[in-house]
Chain A
Amino acid sequence: MTRSITTKFAILMAAAAIFPLVGYGMVSMLSARSGAQQAVIQGNISVARQAAEQIEQYIQGNIRILRAVAADLRHTGLQPWQQDRILKNFALDFPEYTEITLFDHDGAPVATSRIGRPTVTIPGSDSTNIGGVLMSPFSVDDDLLPTAVLAVPPEEGPGGWLVARLNLEELWRTVDKLRVGEQGFALVVTSHGQLIAHGDPNAKSRVARGDSLRDHPLIAARRPARPEAPESLIYPSETGEMVGVAVHIASLDWTLIVEQPTAEAFAIPNRLEQQLAAAVAIALLVMVVAGYAWARSFIGPILRLTRGTHALAEGRFNERVEVHSKDELGQLAAAFNNMADRIVELQEDVRKKERVAMFGRIAVGLVHDLSHPIQNIGNHCKLIVRIWDDAEYRKTFHRTIERELALVKRVLDDLLHIARPIPISRAPIDVNKELADVVESLQAGAESSGLTLDTEFVFGPLYIEGDKFALNRVYRNLIVNAFQATPPHGRVIVRTKRESDHAVIEVADTGCGIPPERLRTIFDDFYTTKRRGLGLGLATSKKIIEQLGGTISVTSTVGLGSTFTLRFPLTKARPGQLAVVS
């Protein structure tokens, strides 16, 4: 019970903390997660935008350079060998251009930066128009370098197409440099879904293969209506869940994607979540432990008071409660100790009074039980002196003296047997026969008291292991008590029964009955409902019965009468032979 209270206290305190803490924790975690994820996505979008601008500027810058060359060639009226020299120098000064070739209107090469034959051709219908300059689809050349062909049309060119092969290594470098965390990379996808740059060195073979990323979630999710709007998605991939952002490079119609494993991108919010969860858990644990400790300290005095009351209940009156606090519990403990002191005093008083009462009852009982035989002995002694010669009277005297002395001895024996076991001998006896003898001997007494003494014996003998004389005393005591409790014209019935392997004897009367509150103590020493006497009859009877392995009980209704029931185990032994013990 006390443990339960302590535990309840701890749970109460923890519960009082749990709901606000858990609530706060969940709200904080959700808020932190959402905020941090948005911050990561916005950061990645910002990085992607910057990279997209760099790429756009890189391409646009190269287009401007090519246009400038075209303008130079157009306006200066150079000879073909001079144009050739300019183109070669240009290719050396701008290594991004691996080849620049000037074509005439018919598509024949006029001048080239190449030593051998030109390898570039004027881009076809699959090219992208970037402000009037055509750009061919991206490709990776045999030396594993990314290229695209740019062509300035004749309107801007020096009388023909100026076509250049642009080395896009710088695009790759820009994308390679773009790292988000340790595992976040950028990739560039054309409007046709062609992967043209990938920041992950292990994924470059996909660029060489010309992999299509049309099915990439960010490409598939692109909104044609608002291509400039950045996209962000969380999607599964071969290497785990990714968070990706996409930025559209409008002038090139390319899309730059920055993707990063969510495990890395959201590592900080995840760690914060874990820390917050740990903090909440620790706080809860502390609350539970504190609640338990506080409950223990609070309950301690109550526990000591409980132990004190148990001690008092168990009769250990010297125990006191040690509570030194000055609060209500301390006052309660002090009151308890005072009460215990008082109980000890009262008990001592009660004990003294009981002793006095007991001595009184014993004295009165002894006087009652012994005065009559002593009186008889005295009277007969006086009479014998006078009529000594009467031989008949001397016999009567002798019988009377013996009987009265036997009575005195019995009283003294009863007193003696309060403290010592009654000497008992065991032998197979027939309960019916013994009871019949006792009833017959008391029949005269019943008639003189105006009572009817009946017997209702079971058929046949009931053999038990018993002491004939001791049991006769028990029967006699119960029947005489019934006489004394039954008014004239009443009835006393002695019954015997056989119940299973037990013999049952009942002595019932139609007397005044015994109040319920007295039934519990009716077999105690010195208890009597009679006005005089030691009250040892039923106590002695109970001892004898229990020494013989039997039981005695009583049922009574005030005004209707009482029934005493004796039960003894039946024996298979018979008088004159040893008991068969099974």
Chain B
Amino acid sequence: MAEALARAVHDPINHELYWTFDNVEGVLASGERDLLVNLRRATGALPEDLSIRLPLAHPEESVGPYRLVSEKDGEVVLERFPMHYRGKPEIERVIIRQYPTLRAAWTALLRGDVDTVDRVPSGAVEFIGSTRIAVKSELHAYQHLIAFNHRHRLFRSSAVRRALNLAVDRQTLVDSALDGRGLPSTGPLWPRHWAYDSSVTPYSFDPAAAEALLDAAGLPRRGGNPNMRFSFTCLVPDSYRVTEQVALEVQRQLYAIGVDMQFRAVPPDAYSRLILAGQFEAVLGDFVSGPTFGRPHIFWQSRRNPGRYNAFGYENEEAEQLFDVLRSSIDVGAIRSAAARLQRVFLNDPPALFLAWSERTLAISRDFEAPQGIDWLQSLWQWKRRDNTLAASAP
């Protein structure tokens, strides 16, 4: 187990995704059920990062409630791990299948081929619930945002980025584009993190203030038709209805303050490639941003740090220092204080146009009892069903 964790910690990809692994020097087994992690420096956030998949040498081993039995043709078979430290899961076997569309997954759910469908689109939620199927929606640690390329002339100005953040009516966005299933967002930090300071005043919708900021930043309306201040192109993945709705709504709202946001719709693989290559002015997407502070750090850490995901080029020394406190500190007060300060730093120098936290909706057969308020994958070991077999699907 120690070897598996050491391999995972030293995996280059994990290094980019888990900000505390840099500080891990080695992992040793110190007893039958204990591991000793040697650190180069204090790293209080390490436990949060240990929720990772371990490359276990033996298939009968596991550190979670389930162990991987097989993974083939898009179907993952899991079996419960009876030695799970929080207790043996009720459901013996879990099968995860992928379906090309929600319609296919939903039909399978209604046929009884599967027992739950994950990631139900917000627009379909009201039509899926029935006497046999319950629908559970939870706020998801992903948010819709427009990330700016800070190497671009326009977006080097924090005033411009603040102005754009002030120009968006997020509640209208949530209502129109997300069918009311979301939470307005004004920063990259997960608002349900224990250290999040909810007293920090977020952006309000103030298009007049936005226009004033742009005027002050030397970006007045240029006259003509249309009477725009500036224009930029936003990269969007095509074929995502919700993303397109968000894009159109934001486009209209920015249009109102004289900002012409054009779109470049590309397939998902090109979308990722262009981002990593830095070939964009702005990017609209549904980005992971929690539940740990390490997640936004992936994108908004200093561009000087090695890695692929800080491709947006954001640079803020104070933010970098505060991220470091959040990563290393083991003092609760210090972490809370750093989190609040970081929230303010991101308000003053927003790295992106933060829009809305999205909801993740799960359709689940009423034969099951699942705990409320917890991500379904995290709580799967607590689910209950009569025959102890579960088939799940993800469209």
Residues of chain A having any CB pair with chain B under 8 Å: 85, 88-89, 91-92, 95, 98, 113-117, 140-145, 169, 172-173, 176, 200-202, 204-205, 208-209
B170–chain A nearest beta-carbon distance, Å: 15
Interface string of B253-288 (1 = CB under 8 A from A): 001000000010100000000000000000000000
- The answer to whether B115 has its CB under 8 Å from any CB of chain A is no
Residues of A with C-beta under 8 A to B106 = 144, 205, 208
A143-B124 in contact (CB<8A): yes
B238-A92 in contact (CB<8A): no
Residues of B with C-beta under 8 A to A202 = 110, 130-132
Decide: A201 near B129, CB < 8 A? Known: A143-B241, A169-B123: yes
* Distance, CA A208 to CA B176, complexed state (A): 25
Residues of A with C-beta under 8 A to B252 = 88-89, 92
* Distance, CA A173 to CA B111, complexed state (A): 23
B80–chain A nearest beta-carbon distance, Å: 30
- Of B15-23, B242-250, B386-394, the segment with at least 4 beta carbons within 8 Å of chain A is B242-250
* Distance, CA A201 to CA B124, complexed state (A): 12
Max chain A C-beta neighbours (<10 A), residue from B103, B106, B129, B132: B103
* Distance, CA A176 to CA B247, complexed state (A): 30
Residues of A with C-beta under 8 A to B248 = 88, 91-92, 113, 115
B110-A205 in contact (CB<8A): yes
Residues of A with C-beta under 8 A to B100 = 142
B110-A144 in contact (CB<8A): no
Residues of A with C-beta under 8 A to B132 = 202
Residues of A with C-beta under 8 A to B226 = 85
* Distance, CA A141 to CA B124, complexed state (A): 10
Max chain B C-beta neighbours (<10 A), residue from A98, A172, A205, A209: A205
B127-A117 in contact (CB<8A): no
- The answer to whether B239 has its CB under 8 Å from any CB of chain A is yes
A142-B265 in contact (CB<8A): no
A144-B176 in contact (CB<8A): no
B345–chain A nearest beta-carbon distance, Å: 32
Interface string of B111-154 (1 = CB under 8 A from A): 10000000011011011111111000000000000000000000
- Tier of interface size on chain B: 35 or more
What residue in chain A is nearest B266 (Cβ atoms)?
A116
Decide: A92 near B176, CB < 8 A? Known: A98-B241, A201-B130: yes
* Distance, CA A209 to CA B102, complexed state (A): 12
A92-B249 in contact (CB<8A): yes
B107-A116 in contact (CB<8A): no
B188–chain A nearest beta-carbon distance, Å: 24
- The answer to whether B101 has its CB under 8 Å from any CB of chain A is yes
What residue in chain B is nearest A201 (Cβ atoms)?
B130
Residues of B with C-beta under 8 A to A95 = 176
* Distance, CA A209 to CA B107, complexed state (A): 8
What residue in chain A is nearest B132 (Cβ atoms)?
A202
A569–chain B nearest beta-carbon distance, Å: 92
B123-A115 in contact (CB<8A): no
Residues of B with C-beta under 8 A to A144 = 102-103, 106, 120-121, 124, 127-128
B229–chain A nearest beta-carbon distance, Å: 16
Residues of B with C-beta under 8 A to A114 = 244
Residues of A with C-beta under 8 A to B241 = 98, 143
* Distance, CA A114 to CA B251, complexed state (A): 12
- The answer to whether B347 has its CB under 8 Å from any CB of chain A is no
Residues of B with C-beta under 8 A to A116 = 236, 238-239, 244, 263, 265
Residues of B with C-beta under 8 A to A172 = 127
Interface string of B67-100 (1 = CB under 8 A from A): 0000000000000000000000000000000001
* Distance, CA A113 to CA B106, complexed state (A): 29
B123-A145 in contact (CB<8A): yes
Which 5 residue pairs are nearest across A and B when measured between Cβ atoms?
A: A201-B130, A116-B265, A205-B110, A142-B101, A116-B238
A208-B107 in contact (CB<8A): yes
* Distance, CA A437 to CA B212, complexed state (A): 171
B90–chain A nearest beta-carbon distance, Å: 26
Residues of B with C-beta under 8 A to A141 = 103
* Distance, CA A322 to CA B106, complexed state (A): 89
A149–chain B nearest beta-carbon distance, Å: 16
Residues of A with C-beta under 8 A to B110 = 202, 204-205, 208
What residue in chain B is nearest A146 (Cβ atoms)?
B127
* Distance, CA A142 to CA B240, complexed state (A): 11
* Distance, CA A423 to CA B121, complexed state (A): 126
